[in-house]
Structure 1
Amino acid sequence: MKKLICVLICAAFILCVSIPVYAETDNSKTVETSAVAFVLYCPQNGSIILSKNENEHKKPASTTKLLTSLITLEQAARGNSTVTFTDKMTAEGSSMYLEYGDTVKLSDLAAGMMMCSGNDAANAAAIAISGSYEKFSGVMNSRAQSIGMKSSHFVTPSGLDDDNHYTTAHDMALLMAEVLRNKQLAELISQKSATVDFIKPEKHMTYTNHNRLLSMYSYCIGGKTGYTDAAGRCLVTASRRDNLTLICVTLDDKNDWKDHTALYEYGFSKLGCYMDNEFTAEIPVAGGEDDFVTVSADSSCELVVNKGVESKIKRMVKLDSFLFAPVMQGEAVGEIEYSLNGKTLKKARLKAQNGAEIKSGKKGLLEKIKELFFNG
């Protein structure tokens, strides 16, 4: 017998379709900056809040190391090998002071890149992973394409200038969003310092994070600095306030600390985030080998809306009080709808997390109902 469903779910319904409600935040003159190019981006819904020349090719300097460190930690997660520093890995500029013969874990090179912007750490990671800078460049560009960075091309793992090494403010915002999805890297860039345990020689080195915004702006959760004469000052950061995450990228900006703070304050004054934790419920099953099935949404709900309307969002759960066996694992059995002033913002399917087979022996509808209400 087919299960009785209180509310029919449209077969064409798409899981977790959001219709975001934005403030009018597309005027780049709202916040004056010194940046040649910048973007204020919300990774929770993929929207650009403010921008200027966000698709213009620019040199990223050491903010490149966000990509190099991401690749490094992804490789380390598959096998955190040891790396011995050689003369092929030497680099000019900022350093974590690796010397010939020094041996560290691959993952520790990311700490050297993210804290003190070690060019030597970036080179060491590139050689350790790919065997040459040219091959690692291919890895960088492939990973960038997978993120959606369509207007970027990377040549050097450290970000030292090259005519064919470029990106855009928008692409760097996409990269930072990917960085935040990597728990290990997100944790690393949130720290004001990190200690590396050298394997050879046996010693412990503590490095201080160059990202001063971690101390200057209380909502900052991480980022990466960069500078060369050709690129100017570059800064990629992320901040979180009241469940809303924003990413700011400034390229060639003489007042980047001040500009990031101003842009974040603007964004947080205009937008808010409605959060609903992952919905889970135990639903009785009539006529099943199992008495209950667990029903849940695939994920928690995040809705970016105009500031101040978060409390006005309504949640409606459309789910029967009981289900008839059989219930298949993964079967859609209901939905959650989020709305504001009568307008649907998001819908999410509720799925059975476990199945329930029909109990042995055929039973009629009345027996199933009696079993539901009188057994136990």
Structure 2
Amino acid sequence: MQKIISYFLLFFSLLLLFLVTTRSLNSSLRTYPPFSNTKQTKAIATKKISGSSYVKKQDIKLSSLNAKACCLMDAATGRVLYGKQEDKKLPMASTTKIMTCILALENAEKNDRIPVSSYAASMPDVQLNMQTGDTFYLKDLLYSLMLESHNDTAVAIAEAIGGSVKGFAAMMNQKASELGCTRTHFVTPNGLDDKQHYTTAKELCMIARYAMQNKQFLQIIQAKSHLFSNCNNTRQYQVHNHDVFLSSYAGALGIKTGFTNRAGYCFAGAAKKDGHILISSVLACGWPPHKTYKWNDTKVLMDYGFSHFQNVTVSIPSYDSVIPIQNAVKNTLSLTSSIPSQITYPLSYDDTLTIQRQIPKNPSAPIRQGDIIGYDTISVNRTILEKYPIIAKETIRSRSFSYFAKLLLQCFFFNSLT
């Protein structure tokens, strides 16, 4: 009898130790970030929308484009609507200055004084013809940068903000990385030829798309001209906008031209029609004397985008916020997702937009509050455009040995254990 009591006490001690250890482990696990357990998922409540229900069929061909690489992008969603070697690394000449301008707007004040170094003043054409030791207000130099594409202006801005051209280039590359550009590398703030200075037609659109969200940037690129002087008012300058696209295409918003002997003619453009904004880029779009190729290609791309695609607003299905769960102390799990109640996407006649919820086939405890249970996905023609994580709103414990042991102990000790 004494042995039986001893074994019982040993078992009871080990049980209490296990419960304490389990509770400590659970507390420790709560400090870890959410995890995703979606290896075996099933799709539920799939909704498909056919573009043919909204858009007329168009017979438009883009075989006449002159650019070596080009891209057409929807500004609202970032969806690539058309591409030709859009991922090919190419020099981009002065379209580089889009990044220079947006970094200046984000990292300096418009009334900051920009000094001119001898290195900045030595930049080759196109120039503002700055004088070494002179100073200008940043707000004026940004018009010089974007309207006339002055190379000396770009270097003066870079040195003032980045400490040096090299330091500013590091800022440019950091920003490109933040925007998701993996095939872009900056060496200069003005786009003068360098083998390590390149981008792609797609990533140039991505950079332009970001810049277009800045109201000051929009104001600068749409200005017809700008009159200013240096800080001492000893010299006066006037710059003019040479963006032919801005004045020759209905709804044009501008953006930036470029040319070097290595890059050829380049242009990043944007236009708006019926609330729909498109962004385009053309790289290596001819060499002298074919200066007009970039305008023609941009107009063809914009015409294609506005006639071939239409913004379609779709309501998101109403999903159950509670799902059954196995091996748990309760039978259901509450979920939440950040997917909006409706979305607007550009669709063509041949497009199919799919909204789909994917969750585990047999979700099982334990699950912590904040864990990713699955995803709500939005895709066009099987290409996923957006993914919204489905999050557990509560912590659900499993029906483990410790769970049943605790129930047993509560039966004997009248819920004294919590």
Greater CA radius of gyration, 1 or 2?
2
Give 1:47-66 correspondences, 5 Å limit. 47-66=79-98
Q: Distance in 2 between matches of 1:121 and 1:22?
A: 47
**Equivalent position of 1:264 in the other structure:** 302
Map Cα deviations across residues 13-42 of structure 1 (whole Å, 9 max, x no partner): xxxxx9886579999953520000000111
Range with greater deviation from structure 2 (53-62 or 19-28): 19-28
- Residue 198 of structure 1 aligns with an amino acid whose one-letter code is N
**Equivalent position of 1:34 in the other structure:** 66
Q: Does 1:182 align with 2:214?
A: yes
**Equivalent position of 2:175 in the other structure:** 143
Structure 1 175/193 Cα, relative in aligned 2: closer, same or farther at 3 Å?
A: same
Q: Distance in 2 between matches of 1:192 and 1:265?
A: 24
Q: Does 1:82 align with 2:91?
A: no
Q: Does 1:126 align with 2:168?
A: no
**Equivalent position of 1:198 in the other structure:** 230
Map Cα deviations across residues 338-376 of structure 1 (whole Å, 9 max, x no partner): xxxxxxxx9xxxxxxxxxxxxxxxxxxxxxxxxxxxxxx
Structure 1 118/240 Cα, relative in aligned 2: closer, same or farther at 3 Å?
A: same
Quote how far apart the aligned CAs of 1:211 are.
1.2
Quote how far apart the aligned CAs of 1:273 are.
3.0
**Equivalent position of 2:373 in the other structure:** none
Map Cα deviations across residues 287-319 of structure 1 (whole Å, 9 max, x no partner): xxxxxxxxxx99997443448xxxxxxxxxxxx
- Residue 263 of structure 1 aligns with an amino acid whose one-letter code is L
Quote how far apart the aligned CAs of 1:196 are.
2.9
SS at match of 1:166: coil
SS at match of 2:108: helix
Equivalent residues of 1:221, 1:239 under 8 A apart:
yes
Quote how far apart the aligned CAs of 1:241 are.
0.6
**Equivalent position of 1:67 in the other structure:** 99
Q: Distance in 1 between matches of 2:164 and 2:113?
A: 17
Q: Distance in 1 between matches of 2:221 and 2:58?
A: 29
Q: Distance in 2 between matches of 1:59 and 1:265?
A: 26
In structure 2, runs of 5+ residues without a counterpart are: 1-46, 287-292, 315-338, 350-385, 387-418
Q: Distance in 2 between matches of 1:20 and 1:237?
A: 30
Structure 1 210/21 Cα, relative in aligned 2: closer, same or farther at 3 Å?
A: farther
Identical amino acids, percent of aligned pairs: 31
Q: Distance in 2 between matches of 1:28 and 1:66?
A: 31
**Equivalent position of 1:209 in the other structure:** 241
Task: Tell me the C-alpha RMSD between the 2 structures.
Answer: 3.0
Pick aligned residue for 2:140 from 95, 102, 108? 108
**Equivalent position of 2:22 in the other structure:** none
Equivalent residues of 2:58, 2:307 under 8 A apart:
no
Q: Distance in 2 between matches of 1:21 and 1:113?
A: 44
Q: Distance in 2 between matches of 1:257 and 1:183?
A: 24
Q: Distance in 2 between matches of 1:64 and 1:234?
A: 10
**Equivalent position of 1:172 in the other structure:** 204
Normalised by the size of structure 1, how large is the TM-score?
0.66
Q: Distance in 2 between matches of 1:28 and 1:172?
A: 24
Normalised by the size of structure 2, how large is the TM-score?
0.59
Instruction: Report the number of matched residues.
Output: 271
**Equivalent position of 2:270 in the other structure:** 238
